[in-house]
Structure 1
């Protein structure tokens, strides 16, 4: 199995997650240890410090040079949203594989262009950072749905709420602009919920949504600045199967830290999950008096790679290690991994349809690349 040369661009929350994943994937899954070649950040001092901390051989500020370096095979992109498309495009044109954090792009037109570019480079693997899809409890739930254990899925209810913007005194930042952040809660949080929803329920055919800016202005050194993207969104969903769903996301939900909560109601049972209790899957089957709690353990997908004992808990960062494993295997000729850029475009269509709806039904087939929210 090949040893891949890695360039990591960005050293924030998700940059560190990627670095930890690249370092852990070999010991966890027995794949060839990646070569941590280049770490790139906005200042040389930050790049030097994080390269030493994360174990990268070199540090630089020139991301174009990092991407084009001949020792690099795959590029991890964990930068602010506005840099996702230019960096991913450059990496693809340089012949590299790409691991890109969500959201895929600022606009639907950008996402379409990125998907088109991948189609023109069929030998290169892309992966978007929808890490919650790798949780063992979630994978077990998907297997139960696919096996018909809860019958025909009839309805989905989901919410992804956090409170990182709940304080009105929080300073204005690029995240609150369309030019720098794109969508707000839908781009930061809601896209994760969409990835889960589609994996469990299948394709979406129609959405009707409303968005809200709860804090219209934020303090800045030169005076208050306007918030341009949504703090929260609510939607009703119709799936291609005929099933229905409800969807909610907020970045101003007081007390919520990572409430990625979803429920699938089927004709013969119900599944319930909450990321704040990510090691529990609650299952009800027809004839049961109530719900049964199932704890994560080595009988669920990929748990045993980290711990042989049930109930000892799986963590956020381990999801990224599984993503890295899936990416390496796909590059090495194994099963395709996803969501890739083509599948990511489908997620972008859904969240941009929600942003565009304003209370009116939007059919997903109407969301073309020249329509942005």
Structure 2
């Protein structure tokens, strides 16, 4: 049996999720067994606790130790956004495979460098867009591809949460402009990636970005306020290369919503509705039923919707968030084993980051951005990169 050494950077919410997912994926990974080798966190106590809780062989306060460790084959990155590029590029240079949380980079210029470095080095990469690993999303994609909705006429997508609603929520790494944009990158990257997964490329957009809370306490309980320089809400009108249009919203001040990641896709023969808050269900409407009895019907996730069957043999019993992360890691193991990209990899994350960058350009210039205007995006990314280096 081949062993795949895992090195984890970060022990927060996503770090714990990664650790659990790597362990669980080993139950399904066949001849390749992930081994939790080492975990790194700047907080030594947190690193030691994570090592003991999840079974890592060792821990460290220096992430570079993981890069230099010959027993580690995969670097799993869950650090704040502004560290993703440095850590990923170091891992790639050492010939290690990389799983990195989203958004991949502060802008598309850096993301492009990262994916090109990975391709040149011949290592496998994956980015944490775990929500598209849902069997219901894979079913939706299949139904669209097989024409069950007919010609697609529209897309409405949203990722809304309320964790930044209170003005008393302190300034944090999520608001650090050196790490990239705000809600449009943090939440928007998920719904933009989901839109691409289901309907393909977006080639034109118009965006309106808004900062609702203009300043926040610099730390919990502080009376010193720090200016907020990134967006709280992003509203996008998009046009897909396939010919249909749509609307997309990213919003982290949406009172009452804990995980409203969802979409409605309309077509000439039917429609689909999905909401992550009930992510074991897909709503399907189909034309041609008897008058007076038309309506959406619920498709409930079950073992026929692979890989749900890996977790439960009975329909309707449901899988959960950490199961999606397990599917994500399992598919990455399969990518490494086969040498074939399952994705989303660094290249796909770069394409998503271009949409984020274009949203910033569009909102600032109050104009549509077309994606054959590559130089506009690159110049904007370069300008923001230089500004971050000056700071």
TM-score range (shorter-chain normalised) is: over 0.9
The answer on 1:249 being equivalent to 2:247 is no
Partner of residue 189, structure 1:
187
Q: CA–CA distance in 2 between the matches of 1:202 and 1:155?
A: 13
Partner of residue 309, structure 1:
314
Displacement after TM superposition at 1:116 (Å)? 1.9
The answer on 1:82 being equivalent to 2:89 is no
| 1:3-42 pair list within 5 angstroms | 3-30=3-30, 32-42=32-42
Q: Deviations for 1:42-86, whole angstroms, at most 9, x for unmatched residues?
A: 122221111001110000011112112100000000000010000
Displacement after TM superposition at 1:335 (Å)? 3.7
| 1:281-300 pair list within 5 angstroms | 281-288=282-289, 289-300=294-305
Contact 1:232 1:249 in 2 (8 A): yes
**Distance change >3 Å, CA 231–CA 338, structure 1 → 2:** same
The answer on 1:369 being equivalent to 2:368 is no
Q: CA–CA distance in 2 between the matches of 1:159 and 1:28?
A: 33
Q: CA–CA distance in 1 between the matches of 2:33 and 2:275?
A: 33
Q: State the aligned residue count.
A: 371
Q: CA–CA distance in 1 between the matches of 2:54 and 2:60?
A: 14
The range that moved more, 7-16 or 44-53, is 44-53
What root-mean-square deviation, in Å, do the aligned CA atoms of Structure 1 and Structure 2 show? 1.3
| 1:265-344 pair list within 5 angstroms | 265-288=266-289, 289-333=294-338, 335-344=340-349
Q: CA–CA distance in 2 between the matches of 1:34 and 1:44?
A: 24
Partner of residue 161, structure 1:
160
Q: Deviations for 1:263-315, whole angstroms, at most 9, x for unmatched residues?
A: 11111110100000111100011123010001111011200000000000111
SS of residue paired to 1:327 = helix
Q: CA–CA distance in 2 between the matches of 1:281 and 1:126?
A: 30
Q: CA–CA distance in 1 between the matches of 2:64 and 2:159?
A: 35
TM-score normalised according to structure 2 size: 0.92
| 1:192-271 pair list within 5 angstroms | 192-220=190-218, 221=222, 223-271=224-272
Partner of residue 62, structure 2:
62
Q: CA–CA distance in 2 between the matches of 1:151 and 1:138?
A: 18
**Distance change >3 Å, CA 247–CA 31, structure 1 → 2:** farther
Contact 1:67 1:94 in 2 (8 A): yes
Contact 2:124 2:339 in 1 (8 A): no
Partner of residue 388, structure 2:
none
Displacement after TM superposition at 1:369 (Å)? 3.2
Contact 1:23 1:33 in 2 (8 A): no
Q: Deviations for 1:81-114, whole angstroms, at most 9, x for unmatched residues?
A: 0100000000000000000000000122211111
Q: CA–CA distance in 2 between the matches of 1:322 and 1:360?
A: 39
Q: CA–CA distance in 2 between the matches of 1:285 and 1:226?
A: 49
Q: CA–CA distance in 2 between the matches of 1:63 and 1:198?
A: 33
Gaps (5+ residues) in structure 1?
A: none
Gaps (5+ residues) in structure 2?
A: 385-391
SS of residue paired to 2:298 = strand
Q: Deviations for 1:206-265, whole angstroms, at most 9, x for unmatched residues?
A: 000100000000012371100010001001000111110100110000001010010111
Q: Deviations for 1:120-166, whole angstroms, at most 9, x for unmatched residues?
A: 11x21000000001011111111111111111212110010000000
Partner of residue 387, structure 2:
none
Q: CA–CA distance in 2 between the matches of 1:177 and 1:47?
A: 24
**Distance change >3 Å, CA 192–CA 167, structure 1 → 2:** same
Q: CA–CA distance in 1 between the matches of 2:307 and 2:239?
A: 32
Partner of residue 171, structure 1:
170
**Distance change >3 Å, CA 361–CA 292, structure 1 → 2:** same
SS of residue paired to 1:86 = helix
Partner of residue 124, structure 2:
125
